[in-house]
Amino acid sequence: MASLASHRCLLFSLVIFSIWVSLSTASRDLSETSMKERHEKWMAQHGRVYKDAAEKLHRFKIFKANVEYIEAFNSAGAHKYKLGANQFADLTNEEFRASYNGFRPSKPNVLKAAVRSNFKYENFTAAPASMDWRTKGAVTPIKNQGQCGCCWAFSAVASTEGIHKLTTGKLISLSEQELVDCDTSGEDQGCNGGLMDNAFKFMIKNKGLTTEARYPYTATDGTCSSKKASASAATITGYEDVPANDESSLLKAVANQPVSVAIDAGGSDFQLYSSGVFTGECGTELDHGVTAVGLYSSGASNGTKYWLVKNSWGASWGEKGYIRMERDVDAEEGLCGIAMQASYPTA
Ligand SMILES: *[C@@H]1O[C@H](CO)[C@@H](O)[C@H](O)[C@H]1NC(C)=O
Ligand SMILES: *[C@@H]1O[C@H](CO)[C@@H](O)[C@H](O)[C@H]1NC(C)=O
């Protein structure tokens, strides 16, 4: 009896085991299949083509890991922002950091603090509860820097487009490529990085910048065409640095015009950001130049104050190319260092 009982018991557990094995294999196959389908769909959506099957498999594995991270993050709740499988979903965070961004932080921060520049909005007190420079017609459509680290050019151009609109009434899309190709005698290095302040210096010296239409973006370092660059469409008279590490100063500036800001955009949450008010993870190693084109102080988003930031990674990243970044955080540098090296052109 005892042996029969134990036999039956063994048999029973074997049956259970084999059912479990077949079920779990099936569900694994299913999720692997649906993940492969998602990858195919994502590839079509983003026009991604891989050179061979090995590369495709390699990219699929990264895509899968990212999607699993995104889903775990989003279903965990309690986050003010969501992640999504955007155009960077088949890149590891290391690859992403290596090929996008392109802000080269100026080392002499100390020098910067000592030589304090003018800040024309120093005594401004009438900051509105919210401001969105897009609604004032001072922001051109989202652009895409592609795989060229010239965020600095996009950031400087966006704040220049803003001040040009505010002083002349005309919104003109200006040329990043002119900066990439022609602003090469100083520290700026086209697709290898640069600084917004240097771009402003170039615009002052060069007596302006031409239009995007006349000198279109190619996402590569090219030879400066003085013919294209000769027809200036917008000029600036100077630029000013916002006093560093002070979000209340940044508020005064952004309330008055779009402002170029440097941030640490290297984190995987920034890479895969899709919507909501971004609250981190990020550090303060400034590696990306973007443009603060608005602010929000109260009301929606459960009272989370934020900066409205225009990025240059196309409209499929974030909120149609924008990110809302938490404002007035505990760190004086601001979230992702947004208050560390802000500046704006004057006209
Ligand atoms: C701000 O006000 C102070 C005190 O009146 C004045 O000295 C300073 O020049 C003002 N700053 C600007 C930028 O107007
Ligand atoms: C705001 O609060 C509501 C209710 O508690 C919640 O459902 C919603 O997700 C919150 N939104 C954000 C952006 O945190």
Q: State how far Cα 32 lies from the chain centre.
A: 31
Say if residue 157 is in the same domain as residue 245: yes
Residue 88 belongs to some domain of the structure: no
Ligand nearest to the CA of 252: 1
Per-residue pLDDT tens for 129-163?
Answer: 999 999 999 999 999 999 899 999 999 999 999 99
Q: Which of 278, 302, 305 to mutate to test the pocket of ligand 2 (most atoms within 8 A of CB)?
A: 302
Q: Which of 123, 240, 256 to mutate to test the pocket of ligand 1 (most atoms within 8 A of CB)?
A: 123
Residue 282 belongs to some domain of the structure: yes
Closest-CA residue, ligand 2 atom 10, reads 302
Range(s) of the domain holding residue 156: 93-346
What residue ranges line ligand 1, CB within 6 angstroms? 120, 122-123
Encoding tokens for residue 38? 């998602």
Ligand 1 centre from 134 Cα, in Å?
30
Last residue of a domain, one of 33, 52, 79: 79
Residue 340 CA to residue 334 CA, distance in Å, equals 7
How large is the angle between the packed helices 2-45 and 53-75, nearest 10 degrees? 100
Verify whether ligand 2 is closer than 6 Å to residue 301 (CB atom).
yes
Encoding tokens for residue 59? 């990219």
Per-residue pLDDT tens for 109-130?
Answer: 444 444 567 999 999 999 899 9
| C-alpha distances out from residue 148 to 72, 84, 123, 180, Å | 31, 23, 39, 10
Residue 287 belongs to some domain of the structure: yes
Q: Which residues contact 118 (CB under 8 A, 6 or more apart)?
A: 240
Ligand nearest to the CA of 302: 2
Q: What stretches of 305-347 adopt beta strand conformation (E)?
A: 306-310, 322-326, 343-346
Say if residue 156 is in the same domain as residue 233: yes
Residue 176 belongs to some domain of the structure: yes
Tell me the DSSP string of 291-310: EEEEEE-SSTGGG--EEEEE
Say if residue 61 is in the same domain as residue 147: no
The tally of domains found in the chain comes to 2
Residue 75 belongs to some domain of the structure: yes
List residues with catalytic annotation. Answer: 151, 288, 311
- pTM for the model stands at 0.86
Residue 142 CA to residue 146 CA, distance in Å, equals 12
Say if residue 171 is in the same domain as residue 261: yes
Tell me the DSSP string of 144-173: B--SS--HHHHHHHHHHHHHHHHHHS----
Say if residue 42 is in the same domain as residue 177: no
Mean pLDDT score, 45-72: 96
Ligand 1 centre from 196 Cα, in Å?
26
| Share above pLDDT 90 across residues of the chain, in percent, rounded to a whole number | 78
Give the CATH number, domain containing residue 279.
3.90.70.10
Ligand 2 centre from 302 Cα, in Å?
6
Say if residue 182 is in the same domain as residue 238: yes
